[in-house]
Amino acid sequence: MIDTDTLDTESELRAEIVRLNKVVEALMNRVEHSSTQHCSDFDQFQTTIMLENLVRARTKELEAALRENEKINRALQEAEEKFHRVLDQSLVGITMIIEDRFHYVNPKFAEIFDYEVDHLLNMGMMELISDVDQPALREAMQKVLNKDLAKINFIANAYRRNGQLITVEVSGSPAIDIGGKPAVIAVLADISERLRSERQVKALHEQLQYQAIHDPLTGLYNRLFLNENLERELLLAERRGYEVSVVMSDLDHFKMINDCYGHQAGDAVLKAFADIMKRHARGSDLDCRYGGEEFFLVLPDTSQQTASERAELIRSALVAQPIALADICIGVTASFGVATYPANGLSSVALIGAADKALYLAKDAGRNQVVAAAQPSL
């Protein structure tokens, strides 16, 4: 908008030219009057020339000032047009708030809330903000007006004209004086879609993290997770001075189940056994699918005797729970090998090897039983 001071200056310049013309006319009248009082023709001529020179010089100055003023006006008009084009094409909403009312909103601001610009100019910011977020935003606005807060940076829920709930980010600069009243210029962006995308990315990231360390069929931890965490568990046990036991298990005659009943039946057996392991695992235990029909259980702060008893509970639970298929139930058994740190190994590789050896002893002894690794003789 063109500054009113500039318009006043132009009016004053034009008024001064009018006044000068009147002065010239009055002086010329005085010269003519003086001539009737016997002034010399030379004095009349000299006075007339002097006045004409003065008026001509001042008129040139005023005309130059007018041209400069017109140039300034054109520059201001061009700047104002560019300014409005920038605001109108902005990708964010821009508003000026005076006394809790919208004093100005750009088209993007109106588009965000699905209102006409003129309609918004009869509203206040709080009419758009959800009841829950109004107190915090009002407090922030008041602090900016009182210059207790350098700027506003606030995320709030707001409503569009149709009642749709959106999330907006509001940023405001320190209050400025407009016509003797404090005004806050704020920039507002609808971040609803961005937040939805961030939530989707986060959910996908969490899903990928879960899939990276879990077996997709059974939901147990996978072998990668076991390899990364068993060694860490042994280091912790070394520092704190407690035992760690591991239980390796293998479903008996699993190939025959697949051959006789199909791979879907085999998957059902694997999932059923995994569910039994989960039910018998503590929060501190690591229950893993080691590969194929082999499973692995890590029991921190657990003796070999207790670990063997825990393995026996799992074995008994499996025997007592025939696996229901489409039209039949099949009985399933498993063999178990137990090893304990530090007696049966000081590293994860040694401990897994000891449990695997005990497992095969259980297989060789007839399956469906628990065998603990031998304790070294003193």
- Which residues are catalytic, by number? 293
Q: CA 106, 110, 116, 120 torsion: positive or negative?
A: negative
- 3 state DSSP class of 102: strand
From 298, 366, 376, select the one nearest 338 (Cα to Cα). 298
Preceding peptide of 342 cis, ω within 30°: yes
Task: Determine the Cα–Cα distance for residues 238 and 232; give it in Å rounded to an integer.
Answer: 10
Residue 81, classified by CB atoms within 10 Å of its CB into exposed (0-12), middle (13-18) or buried (19+), is exposed
Bond from prior residue into 135 cis (ω within 30 degrees of 0): no
DSSP E strand stretches across 134-180: 152-159, 165-172, 176-178
Q: What are 52's two structure tokens?
A: 């004409």
**Residue 249 near residue 356, CB atoms below 8 Å:** no
DSSP 321: S
Are the C-beta atoms of 297 and 279 separated by less than 8 Å? Answer: no
CA–CA distance, 271 with 203 (Å, rounded to integer)? 25
Q: Which two tokens stand for residue 18?
A: 């009018």
Instruction: Tell me the helix, strand and coil percentages in the chain, rounded to 5.
Output: 55, 20, 25
Write the DSSP assignment of 294-320 as a string of letters. EEEEEEET--HHHHHHHHHHHHHHHHT
Cα(159)–Cα(299) distance, integer angstroms: 54
> In sequence order, what are the residues at sequence separation of 6 or more whose Cβ sits closer than 8 angstroms to the Cβ of residue 119?
none
183's enclosing H/E stretch is strand 181-190
* C-alpha span between 48 and 30 (Å, rounded): 11
